[in-house]
Chain A
Amino acid sequence: MTDALKALAEPVIVHVPEKSPEPAPAAPSEDIELVRRAKLGDGPAYEGLVRKYQERIYATVYHMTANHEDANDLAQETFIKAYTALKSFKGDSSFYTWVYRIAVNKTINFLKQRKNKAHMSLNDIDFNAENDPDMVALVSDRTPRRDVGLTELQEKLNGAMLKLSAVHRLVVTLHDVQGLSHEEIGKMMDCNVGTVRSRLFYARQQMQAYLSDYLK
């Protein structure tokens, strides 16, 4: 760890963001217009929708699979599937929720087929992580496992995530990693908020047990 990081480690202010740092969902009216044009065969309009949601869809699938190549394939297939099914999209929910649901279903089906043959292919951690106060707090002299580095922590964290069932992993990913609300998750998973909360509580308990060596 660098001296700068150690210096930052002292005045740690624990900050747990409720919402994802990612951009908020796009204005539905803009999406409605793009969807309308895409339904008429306007390729650039659909490409606009892909560009708008590609990062969030990719991130969700990646956090579920812990494998960049699988996430790449599944994210692409999600948008292809959405395009072919676009005519059946009635607009009952937002395009964002609808495409998210496709991604989630595709990923869960993929994980069922893969079962326990999980092979991690993790992305590198952005260098900005070292400046995040929470990361500094975790990887500091006060961390129980003093020798742990960000990369090792990343591997342990993803390993613990993979031990969860697909639905529990999904709830943790959507809420704790991506910052979605319980209501949004309920819509995506087609279940009520109470179910989302109970799944989240159970998943966190499991994760806490798996990662007890790395948590104070």
Chain B
Amino acid sequence: MDENFDQLRRLLALKRYEAPPPGYFHSFSSKVMARIEAAEVALAPAWWQKLGFDFNFKPALVCGLGVVVCGLLSAGVLTSVVTADQPVAGLAMEPPTGFAVEASPFGEMYAAEGAESTRPVFSATRYDQFGFRAQPVSFQFGGK
């Protein structure tokens, strides 16, 4: 066996003569630059990305935004529930004594408040337009 590999090296030198089609290298660099420019255009940041809202690359920001939105929503719901349970000063409506009274209960109730009251005034006619009247009744279950 040829330990100097002279024949092999001469054979391998043949590969130097393998050349691409004529003119191939004339357009090679311009093709590379065209691909670079195309890639830069494709990767140009959109307006929201320029503002820092690059959701694709900032998952922490997306998660944080979600948590904030959920927190605000929950806080809003809780606040509205608590507010509904507590009487608001100036808007407390104490149940009138002797509820089952004859004639319009709302009309009497708010008429008694006087002109200085800040309570919302419900029109008696609005709820009384059908002339409903509360009457004391008695009945027994079981038909006795």
Contacts and interface: CB of A to CB of B under 8 A. Distances in A.
Contacts of B14: 125, 129, 134-135, 138, 150, 153-154, 157
A16 interface: yes
A132 B20 contact: no
Q: Is chain A's interface secondary structure helix, strand, loop, or mixed overall? A: helix
A172 B16 CA distance: 13
Interface string A53-92: 0110010001100001000100110011001100000000
27 contacts: A14-B10, A16-B13, A46-B33, A47-B29, A50-B33, A55-B25, A58-B20, A62-B20, A63-B15, A75-B28, A76-B31, A123-B20, A126-B17, A126-B18, A126-B19, A129-B14, A129-B17, A135-B13, A135-B17, A138-B11, A138-B14, A157-B14, A172-B12, A176-B13, A177-B15, A207-B12, A215-B8
B36 interface: yes
Contacts, number: 119
Chain B interface residue count: which class? 20 to 34
B29 A54 contact: yes
Contacts of A72: 20
Given A50-B28, A54-B29, A124 B11 contact: no
B29 A128 contact: no
B127 to A, nearest CB: 75
B60 interface: no
B7 interface: yes
Interface in B1-47: 1-2, 5-21, 25, 28-33, 35-37, 39
Interface of B: 1-2, 5-21, 25, 28-33, 35-37, 39
Contact of B10 (A16, A75, A79, A150): A16
Contacts of B8: 176, 204, 207-208, 211, 215
B10 A137 contact: yes
A122 interface: yes
Given A79-B32, A138-B11, A54 B16 contact: no
